[in-house]
Amino acid sequence: MRWVILDRDGVINHDSDAYIKSPEEWVPIPGSLEAIAQLNRSGFRVVVVTNQAGVGRGLYDLATLDRIHAKMRKQVEEAGGHIEAIYFCPHGPEEGCHCRKPRTGLYEQFASQFNVDLDGIPAVGDSLKDMQAAQSVGAEAILVETGNGRQTLKRNPKLDVPTFVNLHEAVQYILFTQG
């Protein structure tokens, strides 16, 4: 079984400094839903691993997060794709939990649930935390320039990971190197 791990905000959907607090605020980045469908058609299963500190900060509740994820799953399915599972950390950075990226708890939950060896699995994100978490578990960290990606590159000019304009371009790379 082949897998791809995706961050959510800034990779699949447009991000917001004010957080994505409702299904109405969740808007896919052009081409991202089709990219997930292309992965599925090529035999890859997709999971989402995402920090959602807005829950811990009281900006939205778990029921709202479930509705946001339902909208995402529905739109991915309408594009011909499927998300196997979504792992999220509801804690703020000050809580010191093991699940918040750059820590590896969410990756470990995924690996345990699906009995997966994380070594070399493509993990696409838009932040340094995403890259650090992926590298810590042996996954292949891949950066997209959408969301916080350009800022991540600017702040970390020596970051040595494959970098692409968006998820669609990152998927082309994954299919070429692992397809």
Instruction: Region of 35 please: left (phi>0), alpha (psi -120 to 50) or beta.
Output: alpha
Say whether 66 is catalytic: no
The answer to whether the CB of 39 falls within 8 A of the CB of 4 is yes
> Would you tell me the crossing angle of helices 105-114 and 128-136 to the nearest 10 degrees?
50
Catalytic residue among 9, 15, 126, 130: 9
Residue 120: how many other CB atoms lie within 10 Å: 12
- Alpha helices, DSSP H, located in 9-104: 32-41, 53-56, 62-78
CA separation for the pair 85, 177 (Å, rounded): 24
Q: Would you report the helix, strand and coil content of the chain in percent, each value rounded to 5?
A: 40, 20, 40
Catalytic residue among 7, 15, 126, 130: 7
CA separation for the pair 116, 88 (Å, rounded): 18
Say whether 7 is catalytic: yes
The answer to whether the CB of 149 falls within 8 A of the CB of 173 is no
Residue 66: how many other CB atoms lie within 10 Å: 12
Active site residues: 7, 9
